[in-house]
Amino acid sequence: MRVWIAGAGYGTGRVVAAEEARISVFDHGITVGDGVFETVKAVGGRAFALTRHLRRLARSAEGLGLDAPDTGRIAEGVRLALEANPKADPARVRITVTAGPGPLGSDRSGVEATCIVAIADFPAPAPTVDVAVVPWTRNERGALTGLKTTSYAENVLALQYAGERGAGEAIFANTAGNLCEGTGSNIFVVVNGRLVTPPLSAGPLAGITRELVLEWSGGEEADLPMSALADASEAFLASTGRDVQSIRAIDGRALPAAPGPVTRKAAAVFAEHSAADIDP
């Protein structure tokens, strides 16, 4: 694989072999997780919904107090990285922007940011997934709430917890005891015929797939107690890597329908619209 990298001694950006790419051991993305990222799916060498992803990258950077990334330059880096890895199709495009080299502490030095576009294969998701509710909560009032940052250790731990219980995704409540999100996905549930997802005020990330599902398939945003999972007739996850993925079971309890009619319709509509418009 080949990556595109800017900053870190690579100037405005160039493509290099992944094994040759180097960043400083003092890069704040490594030492304190001071960075933001996006994961984008590319099909046929073209990145899906890239404009929305770059817009969210800029929002995350602003929320973290980083200088605004040059999204035009990053978009060009995405194009170059995809051209350099034609065999990856569909491809996972990982865009990472860090504060760059800094002191061994939380203070920033204000030097040039590091930006990396890495490419990998993007395997098709399974049609259904089991999920597990984790014993930890999302803080819907935290400084990083709603930001897609590289501080991902909490998600790593939660996903490991789910995996140890035979599940493929972990689900968080927030501190109010309401449904929040997965480690890398948003959750939709069908309760009494209503398609509902937690509002952004509940603490979930403003997922791009979530956003498109709401635009294309409707549904509503509402706070849901965790008990709503037990009342759901069907549910699904939404994310870049999953698209619309039906939840088969929650904590070992099989849902009545997986996928149910609402999930099937949302998945079909998403597939149709995403195939028709690469950058909706």
* 35 three-class SS: strand
**Per-residue model confidence (pLDDT) at position 65:** 95
> Could you report the per-residue pLDDT of 111-124, keeping only the tens digit for each?
789 999 999 999 99
> Which of 97, 105, 40 minimizes the C-alpha distance to 66?
97
> Is 179:226 a contact under the CB 8 Å cutoff?
yes
* pLDDT single digits (tens) 228-276: 999 999 999 999 999 999 999 999 999 998 999 999 999 999 999 999 9
Is pLDDT at 147 greater than 80 in this prediction?
yes
Residue in the block written with tokens 């065999």 = 87
* Residue of 102 and 210 predicted with greater confidence: 210
Spatial contact of 248 and 235, defined as CB atoms under 8 Å apart: no
Range list of β-strands (E), 44-197: 46-47, 91-98, 114-121, 128-138, 169-174, 179-182, 186-191, 194-197
At 109, is the pLDDT very low, low, confident or very high (cuts 50, 70, 90)? Answer: confident
List, for residues 68-100, the tens digit of each pLDDT value. Answer: 999 999 999 999 999 999 999 999 999 999 999
Structure tokens at 2: 């080949």
> Is the pLDDT confidence value at 62 over 90?
yes
Where are the alpha helices (H) located in 20-109, listed in sequence order?
Answer: 28-31, 50-64, 71-84
Q: Which amino acid is at 231?
A: D
pLDDT digit string (tens) for 203-236? Answer: 999 999 999 999 999 999 999 999 999 999 999 9
Cis peptide before 198 (omega within 30 of 0): no
Contact 6, 100 (CB under 8 A): no
Alpha carbon distance, N-terminus to C-terminus of the chain = 28
Q: All domains of the chain, ordered by start, with CATH? A: 2-121 (3.30.470.10), 128-276 (3.20.10.10)
In this prediction, residue 7 has a pLDDT band, given cuts at 50, 70 and 90, of very high
Taking 80 as the threshold, does the pLDDT of residue 110 lie above it? no
The whole-number pLDDT of residue 185 equals 98
Mean pLDDT of the chain: 96
